[in-house]
Amino acid sequence: MTTRSCLSIVLAAGLGTRMKSDLPKVLHEIGGLPMVGHVLKALQAAGSDRVSVVTGPDMPALEELVRKLMPAADCHIQTERLGTAHAALSAKPSLASPVDDVLVIFGDTPLVTSGTIRNVRRQLESGADLVVLGFEAKDPFGYGRLLIEDGRLVAIREEKDATPEERRVTFCNSGIMGFSGEHALSLMEAIGNQNAKREFYLTDAVEIANQRGLTVVAVEGSETETQGINTRVQLAACEEDFQDRMRRFVMENGCTLLAPRTVYFSHDTRLEPGATVEQNVVFAPGVRVAADATIRAFSHLEGADVGTGCVVGPYARLRPGTVLASDAKIGNFVEVKNATFGAGAKANHLSYVGDASVGSRSNIGAGTITCNYDGYLKHRTEIGAASFVGSNSTLVAPVRLGNGAFVSAGSVITNDVSKDSLAFGRARQVVKEGAAGRLRDRLKAEKDAKS
């Protein structure tokens, strides 16, 4: 595609009424990202250099998200909900500037791909004046039918207005449209509201464009990617379709999923070729897993960077700020938060490591805790390279262990330990011969007396 300017108008003013939610509909998440965020990403990848988002009144959270994801985007408020054409014309100030392509897309179609959007734009580049994105429906009931004659889209016929023959058509309207910049504004402004609901429908642009002798065509996308979301049931179905897409993508790019349908991804999960993921793993936002790393079963990762050859889990939790260098190992029932592990460092079981750095080749024994929070502030624990922390140790931050330090099992460490030093932080063991038997006799007597 040659370089062409493109304005995309995202219709996102819908309420979450049918979801029984106070949250604007397009802020409900798919893969850890609000659905409108997926649409914005697809538009950006498809080369849309200008974006205008149509919101409803009192939707500051939506406007804030748009500014965060796409700072150059404009937001326009649709004060009354009078149909799709009325919504698109809420962005009329953006339409005043010359542009080659104008796209109108819904904010609740999070699975639409940049490739499909580019296909719409290719038709505009090839000379079409109006392009409608359609799909082959398994069950077309309720959808507007796209009626094609000699390669031209001649009409969009709604279910209630269709003849029996037209209702047999399975090529349906997705609602996503592309206009040539030359005709976009005049076509939208020509749309009237002579209908039962007295609303302005963007689909009427097809009839108007044909009456003007303009070129009107339809292109095909998949039913899955063009699905809209109005209910929580549809939200869940869309989430599952998103997960299936992600699973297929990572496997086709060289990763192994031992039980694909039990692995859940976020929109930005990055698995490099050669990574292996076992059963029942959840990737929350912000995770990268490098080549040849293994994520074992029942682990949960968020905001974590896992290096080459690492092993995580089973039953491990990596929280935001976790960075594992190559060949590090985080074992079962270990939680790591805002901490770095050097190459080859290990915490194999039953530990919490937070706000810390663990040097290369160091070993964190079972039951170790870094006490990072004093009730008001967080403090860091620094563990040098090739150090050993014995089982059931408590490291009270701020504290530093030098390279090669050795902490004996069961210790409470409150002071720094210098390089190659051995630290004990526990009471001396005392053994009283025969005392256990006498204690049991006393306790039994007390129990018998009470009964």
- For the domain that residue 404 is a member of, what is the CATH number? 2.160.10.10
Indicate whether this model's pTM tops 0.85.
Answer: yes
Residue range 132-146: mean pLDDT, rounded = 94
CATH number at residue 191: 3.90.550.10
pLDDT of 225-277, one tens digit each? 999 899 999 999 999 999 999 999 999 999 999 999 999 999 999 999 999 99
Q: Give the other-Cβ count within 10 Å of 50's Cβ.
A: 17
pLDDT at residue 2 in the model: 60
Residue range 30-35: mean pLDDT, rounded = 97
Lowest mean pLDDT among 86-95, 196-205, 440-449: 196-205
Residue 43 lies in a domain: yes
Residue range 407-434: mean pLDDT, rounded = 93
For residue 96, is pLDDT > 90? Answer: no
Closest by CA position to 172, among listed 133, 211, 209, 127: 133
For residue 362, is pLDDT > 90? Answer: yes
Indicate if 49 and 176 belong to the same structural domain: yes
Indicate if 163 and 240 belong to the same structural domain: no
For residue 358, is pLDDT > 80? Answer: yes
Indicate if 179 and 307 belong to the same structural domain: no
Residue 273 lies in a domain: yes
Indicate if 264 and 411 belong to the same structural domain: yes
Instruction: Give percent of the chain above pLDDT 70.
Output: 100
Rounded to an integer, what distance in angstroms lies between the CA atom of residue 287 and that of residue 196? 50
CA dihedral over 15, 20, 26, 27, signed as positive or negative: positive
Indicate if 65 and 155 belong to the same structural domain: yes
Indicate if 214 and 237 belong to the same structural domain: no
Where is 243: in which H helix or E strand?
Answer: helix 232-252
For residue 1, is pLDDT > 70? Answer: no
pLDDT at residue 194 in the model: 84
pLDDT at residue 365 in the model: 97
Q: With bands split at pLDDT 50, 70 and 90, how would you rate the model's confidence at 15?
A: confident
Between residues 197 and 180, which one has the greater pLDDT?
180
Between residues 383 and 196, which one has the greater pLDDT?
383
Residue range 124-150: mean pLDDT, rounded = 94
Indicate if 250 and 164 belong to the same structural domain: no
DSSP code for 51: E
As for how many domains the chain has, the answer is 2
Q: With bands split at pLDDT 50, 70 and 90, how would you rate the model's confidence at 451?
A: confident
pLDDT of 153-189, one tens digit each? 999 998 888 899 999 999 999 999 999 999 999 999 9
Residue reference for tokens 């592990």: 341
Indicate if 205 and 250 belong to the same structural domain: no
pLDDT at residue 429 in the model: 83
Q: With bands split at pLDDT 50, 70 and 90, how would you rate the model's confidence at 81?
A: confident
Mean pLDDT of the chain: 95
For residue 196, is pLDDT > 80? Answer: no
Cβ atoms 94, 50 nearer than 8 A: yes
HEC string of the chain equals CCCCCEEEEEECCCCCCCCCCCCCHHHCEECCEEHHHHHHHHHHHCCCCEEEEEECCCCHHHHHHHHHHCCCCEEEECCCCCCHHHHHHCCHHHHCCCCCEEEEEECCCCCCCHHHHHHHHHHHHCCCCEEEEEEECCCCCCCCEEEEECCEEEEEECHHHCCHHHHCCCEEEEEEEEEECCCHHHHHHCCCCCCCCCCCCCCHHHHHHHHCCCCEEEEEECCCCCCCCCCHHHHHHHHHHHHHHHHHHHHHCCCEECCHHHCECCCCCEECCCCEECCCCEECCCCEECCCCEECCCCEECCEEECCCCEECCCCEECCCEEECCCCEEEECCEEEEEEECCCCEEEECCEEEEEEECCCCEECCCCEEECECCCCECCEEECCCCEECCCCEEECCEEECCCCEECCCCEECCCECCCCEECCCCCCCCCCCHHHHHHHHHHHHHHHHC
What residues are paired with 283 via a beta bridge? 301
Indicate if 246 and 217 belong to the same structural domain: no
Point out the catalytic residue in the list 28, 76, 300, 349: 349
Indicate if 195 and 58 belong to the same structural domain: yes
Where is 117: in which H helix or E strand?
Answer: helix 114-125
Q: What distances in angstroms separate CA 289 from CA 41, 118, 195, 274, 348, one per listed residue?
A: 22, 30, 55, 10, 19
- Residue ranges making up the domain that contains 361: 232-423
Indicate if 124 and 202 belong to the same structural domain: yes
Tell me which of 199, 221, 243 is where a domain ends.
Answer: 221
Residue range 6-35: mean pLDDT, rounded = 93
The answer to whether 38 is a known catalytic residue is no
Question: Measured in whole angstroms, how far is the alpha carbon of residue 392 from the centre of its chain?
Answer: 37
Lowest mean pLDDT among 153-157, 360-364, 367-371: 153-157
Residue range 91-107: mean pLDDT, rounded = 94
Indicate if 213 and 238 belong to the same structural domain: no
**How many residues appear in the chain?**
451
Residue range 19-38: mean pLDDT, rounded = 95
Beta strands in 12-96 (DSSP E): 29-30, 33-34, 50-55, 74-77
The DSSP line for 180-217 is ETTTHHHHHHT----STT----TTHHHHHHHHTT--EE
397 Cβ contact list (under 8 Å, min separation 6):
355, 356, 370, 371, 372, 379, 380, 381
